[in-house]
Structure 1
Amino acid sequence: MRRGTGRRAMAYAAVVVGLALSGCSSGGGESADESAAPTVTQTVTETASPTETSTSPTTQTPSGSITPTAGAPAVDGPVVAQDQLSSPSGNIWCSLEYGIECEVKESSYQPLPKPADCRLDWADNQFRVDRSTGARGICRGDVTFTEQPPELTYGTTSVVGDRACQSTETAMTCWDTGSGHGFRVSRDDYQLF
């Protein structure tokens, strides 16, 4: 039974009983007080029309959550919600699943030395973002990717929560839409912002 159907049935029964009682009161089939019927009808109308809430899922447009920031690119192309992605060339793989991380498979920039306090694997070809900075290099004991993620076509931006990456022919730019911090990476160079 749909929600509200029981109330409608009770309201209908109240109208029938109310009309039957009002018809009996004057003896001639009509109400002694003509103004009583509209009051019953008005009450029934309010009871018989309960507001039902929709339970169907709503779709949020990711582009509505993008706030332009100093280093972030303008978003004027298609917007998708893809939490794992790669550049069409296959050289840059990114994850927006639990934060913002990208791995550049082949690059021409100089390697960063492993920090003395890193007791795990040093991945200087990886970039990350948190609310306070964009950074190169991750000290980690796990892997972000086990296989190449789906392609994010050039000109498309993926937005997942407050995390975004935009693919262009020259670079992949990823940023936190709340703080504005991020990075721009390509095979030849990178920029942190």
Structure 2
Amino acid sequence: MPRATLPTIVLIAAISLVGCTSAAPAPTTSASPGESGAASATPSTAPSTPAEAWRPAGTAVDTAGYVGGDGGVVFSSPSGNLRCGYSEYPNTTPWWWCMLEEQSVVLPSDPHGKCPEAVAPNGLGVLADDPAAVAESFCADAAESPALPYGSSISYRDMGCDSTEDGMTCRSLVTGAGFRLSRSDYELF
């Protein structure tokens, strides 16, 4: 499959996520490597009030080294397998996303049917400005981007991401909605 440029992936993914909201918080789901990528629902760990909002645990980096072509930020895991960012285009809702180059995890179906036929979702994203938003899957390719070292975090526009050897966790700093994604498993918050 030919690789699309970052603006193309972001536009494709943004189109997939526009208008995605939920009236009630979604349960946290996860998949462990021993479960062949199958997800199971567990109680949500999202904070119940903004005062309890999640904060990145890693050492903060300066976003200047991660500026993307659309004015957002883009970054990858040190392995290069995860590519993530914050994107904002005119007439679309700002959102955080991460996608996998290689994966053994099976992500939930694309809720909007935007993935090409016979192509499994390879990314998760969450709307940045919608307090009722929950993370959803999508299909995409992304250009290379600067690595966010393990143990580091990046915060931008009320969202933050932690880079760890166990994957990337991105969440709203206000609502706690977000996701954790790795080659072999994921969680939705």
- TM-score by structure 2 length? 0.54
The answer for the alignment partner of 2:26 in structure 1 is none
The alpha-carbon deviation at position 167 of structure 1 amounts to 0.4
Q: Given that residues 56 and 160 in structure 2 are in contact (C-alpha distance below 8 angstroms), is that contact kept between their aligned partners in structure 1?
A: no
Among 62, 82, 85, the residue aligned to 1:80: 62
Q: Given that residues 58 and 163 in structure 2 are in contact (C-alpha distance below 8 angstroms), is that contact kept between their aligned partners in structure 1?
A: no
Q: Note if 1:165 corresponds to 2:161.
A: yes
Deviations 1:57-106 (A, max 9, x none): xxxxxxxxxx763xx46425233323100000111000113220110121
Q: Going by fraction, where is helix more abundant, 1 or 2?
A: 1
- TM-score by structure 1 length? 0.53
Larger radius of gyration: 1
Aligned partner letter, 1:152: L
The answer for the alignment partner of 2:113 in structure 1 is 118
Cα distance in 2 for partners of 1:157, 1:171 equals: 12
Q: Given that residues 78 and 155 in structure 1 are in contact (C-alpha distance below 8 angstroms), is that contact kept between their aligned partners in structure 2?
A: no
Q: Note if 1:179 corresponds to 2:175.
A: yes
Q: 1:68 to 1:148 in 2, by over 3 A?
A: farther
The answer for the alignment partner of 2:134 in structure 1 is 134
Q: 1:181 to 1:111 in 2, by over 3 A?
A: closer
In structure 2, list runs of 5 or more residues that go unmatched.
Answer: 1-50, 67-72, 89-94
Q: 1:160 to 1:123 in 2, by over 3 A?
A: farther
Cα distance in 2 for partners of 1:189, 1:126 equals: 12
Cα distance in 2 for partners of 1:153, 1:137 equals: 24
User: Structure 1: which 4+ aligned runs deviate by more than 2 Å?
Assistant: 72-76, 110-115, 117-123, 131-136
In structure 1, list runs of 5 or more residues that go unmatched.
Answer: 1-66
Specify which structure has the bigger relative contact order, considering alpha-carbon pairs within 8 angstroms and separated by 6 or more residues: 2
Deviations 1:96-130 (A, max 9, x none): 13220110121212354455x52564661110112
